[in-house]
Structure 1
Amino acid sequence: MNMNDRGLTLVEILAAVVILSILFIGIMSIFPQMTLFNAKTETKLDTMNLARQEMAYISGEAGWVGKRDLADPSIYENFKTVLVTRMPAAGYTEITTTDDFIRYEKTDGYRYEADVYLNCQPFLKEAENSLKCNDPSLSQLHKVHLKVYDDGRISSQTFSYIKFIVEMKVD
């Protein structure tokens, strides 16, 4: 009988099974990692969309209007006065106040944290056209930094501006 006619020995079969098992285990360990990565990606996309929606709600046109006294136009509501009534109406609670910004927080499935800056940003550079932020006849832009937290970590964040205008109050 020839060596080639005998077939495979038990040792050769066991070695082949061990090698195939190692390869199979290596390939199978990728699937749980892919599932975890997909779950994290889905959460990130959800929080990005929620941040955009929430920012659109916060910075929307409605409600960001200060009133000016018709009898004395020099008397008007400033941005901070409107801010401290508008944000709680949107479900936010004030948690920190500094000279630069007021931080608000809201929990709705995820935890939202919004920093609304009190200093206005002129539409154009003041040096070029002398637009001043303290002129109530001009629209003002106030920066908002919104962060969405998932399990205590920032999952998504976005920036935008609130357009604040002062209109004549009609009683």
Structure 2
Amino acid sequence: MENIKNEQGVTLIEVITSISILSIVLISFISIFPQMGFMNKNTEDKTQAISTAKEILILWQDSLDVKSYLTSSTQTSVITSDDPNLVFIKNEGGYYYFETVKDIYRVNIKIANSPNTNSSKIYKLHSIQIELFNNRNNLVGETYGFIKR
């Protein structure tokens, strides 16, 4: 009982020390939040880009213009499209290269101009690669697929 009566409370040095330790811990936790926000924004942008790339892939896989272009023997004409931004870049190294704009992305499309030798006997498959770049010209999303003709 005497020990309890002799206790005189917390000293000023103890209070300052505990506040300093608590401040250091809180500051380290607070510095994490902006980084988490930045990572969430990057993940959101990447998810949107991948979704847009998949949408473009589906449009190109279902396009009759693309299929007729790939089956033509000369393949000198450019794919006709309602998209005024679609530009035929080159036919080089066994691939056709196209460029267009979709939403906020610059889109590069690369299609193999000859079917893979491992393709099914029933369908001839052309590989297609779609890359999306942001306004700073950084790759933000890409997808791959096949176009059957």
TM-score using structure 1 length:
0.71
From 134, 139, 146, the counterpart of 1:161: 146
Runs of 4+ in 1 over 4 A off after TM superposition: 1-4
Residue 103, structure 1, aligned to residue 87, structure 2? no
Q: 1:96 to 1:77 in 2, by over 3 A?
A: closer
Q: Matched residue of 1:120: which SS? A: coil
State the Cα deviation string for residues 104-137 of structure 1 (Å, max 9, x = none): 111231111001111123532xxxxxx5xxxxxx
Contact 1:64 1:163 in 2 (8 A): no
SS at match of 2:79: helix
Out of 45, 48, 65, the residue aligned to residue 46 of structure 1 is 48
On the 8 A contact 2:66/2:79 being kept in 1, the answer is no
Q: Alpha-carbon deviation of 1:21? A: 0.2
For residues 131 and 26 of structure 2, what CA distance do their matches in structure 1 show?
Answer: 42
- Name the structure 2 match of 1:135: none
Identify if the C-alpha distance between structure 1 residues 14 and 65 changes in structure 2 by more than 3 Å, giving closer, same or farther. closer
Higher RCO (C-alpha 8 Å, min separation 6)? 1
The AA in structure 1 aligned to 2:147 is I
Residue pairs, 1:103-122, within 5 angstroms: 103-108=97-102, 109-121=104-116
CA distance in 2, matches of 1:160, 1:21: 53
Q: Map of 1:55-74 to 2, 5 A cutoff?
A: 55-66=57-68
Give the unaligned 5+ runs of structure 1: 68-75, 125-130, 132-137, 165-171
Equivalent pair of 2:60/2:66 in contact (CA under 8 Å): no
Distance in structure 1 (CA, Å) of the matches to 2:126 and 2:82: 18
Aligned residue pairs: how many? 142
In 1: Cα distance, 2:101 partner to 2:68 partner: 28
Shift of 1:48: 0.8
Q: Which amino acid aligns with 1:156?
A: G
Equivalent pairs: percent with the same residue?
23
Letter in 2 for 1:11: I
Deviation per CA, 1:61-105: give whole Å up to 9, x if none.
4334549xxxxxxxx8337246x223x544421223314112111
Say if 1:37 and 1:66 are closer, same or farther in 2 by CA, change over 3 A.
closer
TM-score using structure 2 length: 0.80
Q: Secondary structure at the match of 1:49?
A: helix
Superposition CA RMSD, Å: 2.7
Match of 1:25 in 2: 27
> Which one has a larger percent strand, Structure 1 or Structure 2?
1
